Amino acid sequence: MNKSALMERAVHLALKGSFTTRENPNVGCLIYKSGMILSEGWHVAPGSNHAEVNAILNAESKFKDSTKDVLDGSSLFVTLEPCSTEKRTPPCTDLIQKYSFKEIIYMQSDPSQKGSDILKEKGFGIERLSLNNSVLNNGFFKHLAEGKPYVRAKIACSMDGKIAFKNNNEQWITTQASRKDGYSYRAISGAIITGSGTLETDNPLLNVRLEEAVNDQDFKQPLKALFTTKSYIDSNKKFFKDNSRKIIFTNNENLEMQICETLNTEIVRVESDANQISIPSVLNYLGSINIKDVLLEAGPRLISSFIDSNLIDEYIFYIAPKVLGNKANSFYTNKNLEGILNSPDLEIVEEKSIGRDLKLVLRKKNAS
């Protein structure tokens, strides 16, 4: 296997932690020598061993007293530069130095760490190997650089960009397969954002129901964030009926406080922007509580506000082969679907069919 293929394998390992690392980066690691992968590991959850440590510990478990000899002259591939500081776990550079690796090959640099410099000074070969269109750690890097989360918007719409039926007699525009695919984005998010209009119209639960996520003992339901300018919120809505943490962001001083009696719900008052909730203020607040990735699942008004503020880093479109015309509302009133898809500021990073629907993922060209 060549180096790129080995790093691709490390990326595959990193993604095994997608639903559980949450505020931590997804990291995968493998140890390679003489045409064989000797050991593998990945980071599972905050506070647990890092990927490099798990790969080395797995090698120790496998090779017992022969571990040092077996790993002598091997190559350690890791998707993120090894950490050099102690937080909840010791620095990975300490354990790496106990073995005679020929080289440490990493994919992503971590500006908060000096692992590559430390290991290079200790005589290890160091190489950075980048892969195009890496799907790893956009939220981690944006939060590191700006203190704010990476924003994904999930939009299920028709070919003419319609998102919600006006009479609400029909609830779904796209197929069940598309909806299931979309649930994975909830599972990788630290928070899900919606608005009070969606709460009233659709009465969504907005939780994660993917079996592979909820059956994992390290998985936690994401925070649910509600935008409202109203003075009353019905606490009997499904949104409030689970144990996940919930925050209501409002600029209305008269919002009834009885909502706080609902399980695990708090009210956060934020600044106004033209009588609307300041989205940057909300994103700054979420960043301050260590939320790295958010998913926007909302109606046209809130989606349009995010678009107009240029605060969406990634769009996930599920487009049904339908034209709904005047039967439904557009997801964005200031520009049609084609205008968004052809924006010079966005690039298509994924395009595939899901049943009869088309999935398109577009990312800001300067996104983390």
Distance between CA 225 and CA 34 in Å, rounded? 51
Length of the chain counted residue by residue? 368
The one catalytic residue in 40, 52, 81, 314 is: 52
Q: Which of 359, 332, 360, 365 is nearest to 346 (CA)?
A: 365
Q: Decide: 271 and 289 in contact? Cβ < 8 Å.
A: no
146 annotated active-site: no
Q: Are 326 and 367 in contact (CB under 8 A)?
A: no
- Quote the DSSP letter at residue 82: P
H helices of the chain, in order, are 3-14, 51-63, 67-71, 92-96, 115-121, 138-146, 176-187, 196-202, 211-214, 279-288, 300-308, 337-341
SS3 65: helix
Instruction: Give one DSSP letter per residue of 181-244, joined into a string.
Output: HHHHHHHT-SEEEEEHHHHHHH--------HHHHTSTT--PPEEEEEE--S---TTSGGGSSSS
Instruction: Give the active site residues.
Output: 52
